[in-house]
Amino acid sequence: MSGLRSEFIRNFSIIAHIDHGKSTLADRLIEYTGLVESVDIRPQLLDDMELERERGITIKAHAVTMNYHRSEGREFVLNLIDTPGHVDFSYEVSRSLAACEGAILLVDASQGVEAQTIANAYLALEHDLTLIPVMNKIDLISARPEVVRQQIVDLTGCQPEEVLSVSAKEGTGVRYLLDAIVDRIPAPAPLIEKPLQALIFDSLFDNYRGAIAYVRVVSGALKAGMNIFFYSSGKRYSVDEVGLLKLKRHPVDRLAAGEVGYVIPGCKEVSETRVGDTIGDATAAASKPLPGYREPKPMVYSGLFPADAEEYEALRDALARLKLNDASLQYEPETSGSLGFGFRCGFLGLLHLEIVQERLEREYGLNLVTTVPNVKYRITLSDAQVVYIDNPAHLPPYTNIEKMEEPIVKAQIVTPPDYIGPVMQLSNERRGLYENTEYLDAGRTVLHYRLPLSEIIYDFYDRLKSISRGYASFDYEHAGWEVTTMVKLDIMLNGELVDALSVLVNEDKAYAWGRRVVDKLAEVIPRQMFEVAIQAAVNSRIIARATVRALRKNVLAKCYGGDVTRKRKLLEKQKEGKKRMKMMGHVEVPQEAFLAILKSD
Amino acid sequence: MRLDWNRSLQYIKRMTEFALYVHYPFCLSRCRYCGFASEVHDDAKAGHYHRALLKEMEDQTGKPPWCNGRLRSIYFGGGTPALMPPEYLNDIMEGVGNRLEYPPGIEVTLETNPAVCNMDNLRSFRELGVNRLSIGAQSFHDPELAFLGRIHSAADIKSAVEQARRAGFDNVSLDLIYGVPGQTVESFRISVQRALELKMDHLSTYALSIEKGTAFARLIEAGRLPKTDPDFTAEQYAELCRVMQDAGFDHYELTNFARPGRQSQHNWTYWRRIPYLGLGTAAHSFDGWRRCWNTRDTAVYIDLIYLGKTALKDEEVLLPEEEIEEIIYLGLRTMDGVDEAVVGEASTPETVNELLSHGFLIRSGGRLHVPENKWLLLDEIAVRLLSKNPSI
- How confident is the model at residue A561, as a pLDDT? 61
| pLDDT reading at B11 higher than 70 | no
For chain A, say whether B188 makes contact (Cβ under 8 Å): no
Q: Are the Cβ atoms of A564 and B270 closer than 8 angstroms?
A: yes
**Set of chain B residues whose Cβ sits within 8 Å of the Cβ of A564:** 270, 284, 286, 291, 326, 330
In whole angstroms, give the CA distance from residue A44 to residue A58. 9
CA of A367 to nearest chain B CA: how many angstroms apart? 19
For chain A, say whether B257 makes contact (Cβ under 8 Å): no
- How confident is the model at residue B389, as a pLDDT? 64
Task: Give the tens place of pLDDT for each residue, A158-170.
Answer: 899 999 999 988 8
- How confident is the model at residue B339, as a pLDDT? 95
Contact A475, A516 (CB under 8 A): no
Q: Please enumerate in sequence order all residues whose Cβ is within 8 A of that of A581, keeping only pairs 6 or more positions apart, or say none.
A: A588, A589, A590, A591
In whole angstroms, give the CA distance from residue A591 to residue A361. 14
- How confident is the model at residue A328, as a pLDDT? 81
**C-beta atoms surrounding B40 within 10 Å:** 11
Task: Give the tens place of pLDDT for each residue, B62-76.
Answer: 888 898 889 999 999
CATH architecture of A487-598: 2-Layer Sandwich (3.30)
**Angle ∠(A516,A518,A521) on CA atoms, nearest 5:** 105
Q: Which residue has the higher pLDDT, A566 or A437?
A: A437
Q: Are the Cβ atoms of A554 and B230 closer than 8 angstroms?
A: yes
Contact B124, B104 (CB under 8 A): no
Interface of B with A in 308-327 (CB under 8 A): 316, 322, 325-326
CA of A366 to nearest chain B CA: how many angstroms apart? 21
When pLDDT is averaged across residues A224-245 and rounded to a whole number, the result is: 91
**Residue in chain B nearest A570 by alpha carbon:** B379
**Set of chain A residues whose Cβ sits within 8 Å of the Cβ of B358:** 529-530
- How confident is the model at residue B320, as a pLDDT? 87
Domain limits of chain A? 6-184, 197-281, 300-373, 378-484, 487-598
| pLDDT reading at A1 higher than 50 | no
Task: Give the tens place of pLDDT for each residue, A470-493.
Answer: 778 888 888 999 999 999 999 999
Contact A91, A276 (CB under 8 A): yes
**pTM of the predicted model, to two decimals?**
0.71
Residue A231 in 3-state DSSP? Answer: coil
The shortest CB-CB distance from B291 to any of A564, A575, A586 is to A564
- How confident is the model at residue B86, as a pLDDT? 96
- Which range is most confident: A215-229, A307-321, B191-205? B191-205
Q: Are the Cβ atoms of A571 and B329 closer than 8 angstroms?
A: yes
The shortest CB-CB distance from A553 to any of B233, B256, B325 is to B233
- The pLDDT confidence band at residue B1, using thresholds 50, 70 and 90, is very low
**C-beta atoms surrounding A208 within 10 Å:** 4
CATH architecture of A300-373: 2-Layer Sandwich (3.30)
Segments in B108-212 forming alpha helices (H): 119-127, 142-148, 154-166, 185-197
Strand partners of residue B119 = none
Task: Give the tens place of pLDDT for each residue, B25-61.
Answer: 999 998 999 888 788 999 999 999 999 999 999 999 9
| pLDDT reading at A5 higher than 60 | yes
Task: Give the tens place of pLDDT for each residue, B315-359.
Answer: 998 888 889 999 999 999 999 999 999 999 999 999 999 899 999
Q: Which residue has the higher pLDDT, B162 or A368?
A: B162
For residue A433, what is the enclosing H or E element? strand A433-441
When pLDDT is averaged across residues A344-355 and rounded to a whole number, the result is: 87
- How confident is the model at residue A2, as a pLDDT? 46
Chain-centre distance of CA B167, in angstroms? 24
Q: Are the Cβ atoms of B379 and A554 closer than 8 angstroms?
A: yes
**C-beta atoms surrounding A480 within 10 Å:** 10
- How confident is the model at residue A59, as a pLDDT? 46
CA of A575 to nearest chain B CA: how many angstroms apart? 6
**Angle ∠(B194,B249,B119) on CA atoms, nearest 5:** 50
| pLDDT reading at A4 higher than 70 | no
**Set of chain A residues whose Cβ sits within 8 Å of the Cβ of B316:** 565
For chain A, say whether B278 makes contact (Cβ under 8 Å): yes
Domain A6-184 fold: Rossmann fold (3.40.50)
Q: Are the Cβ atoms of A575 and B330 closer than 8 angstroms?
A: no
Q: Please enumerate in sequence order all residues whose Cβ is within 8 A of that of A267, keeping only pairs 6 or more positions apart, or say none.
A: A210, A211, A235, A237, A273
**Set of chain A residues whose Cβ sits within 8 Å of the Cβ of B276:** 562
CA of A312 to nearest chain B CA: how many angstroms apart? 19
- Which range is most confident: A32-41, A585-594, B157-166? B157-166
- How confident is the model at residue B37, as a pLDDT? 77
- How confident is the model at residue A13, as a pLDDT? 93
CATH number of A378-484: 3.30.70.240
Mutate to test the interface with B, among A559, A567, A573 (most CBs of B within 10 A): A559
Query: How is chain A split among helix, strand and coil, in percent rounded to 5?
Result: 30, 35, 35
The shortest CB-CB distance from B270 to any of A530, A562, A571 is to A562
CA of A565 to nearest chain B CA: how many angstroms apart? 8
Q: Are the Cβ atoms of B21 and A562 closer than 8 angstroms?
A: yes
Q: Which CATH number fits domain A197-281: 2.40.50.140, 3.40.50.261, 2.40.30.10, 1.10.569.10?
A: 2.40.30.10
**Residue in chain B nearest A554 by alpha carbon:** B377
In whole angstroms, give the CA distance from residue B253 to residue B30. 27
In whole angstroms, give the CA distance from residue A382 to residue B7. 73
- How confident is the model at residue A71, as a pLDDT? 73
Task: Give the tens place of pLDDT for each residue, B191-224.
Answer: 999 999 999 999 999 999 888 889 999 999 998 8
- The pLDDT confidence band at residue A37, using thresholds 50, 70 and 90, is low
Fold agreement between A300-373 and A378-484: yes
The shortest CB-CB distance from B382 to any of A557, A571, A586 is to A571
When pLDDT is averaged across residues B117-132 and rounded to a whole number, the result is: 96
In whole angstroms, give the CA distance from residue B127 to residue B112. 16
Q: Is A78 exposed, middle or buried (0-12, 13-18, 19+ CB in 10 A)?
A: buried
**Residue in chain A nearest B323 by alpha carbon:** A568
What average pLDDT does the structure give for chain A? 86
CA of B283 to nearest chain A CA: how many angstroms apart? 8
Residue A32 has φ and ψ, to the nearest 5°, of -65, -35
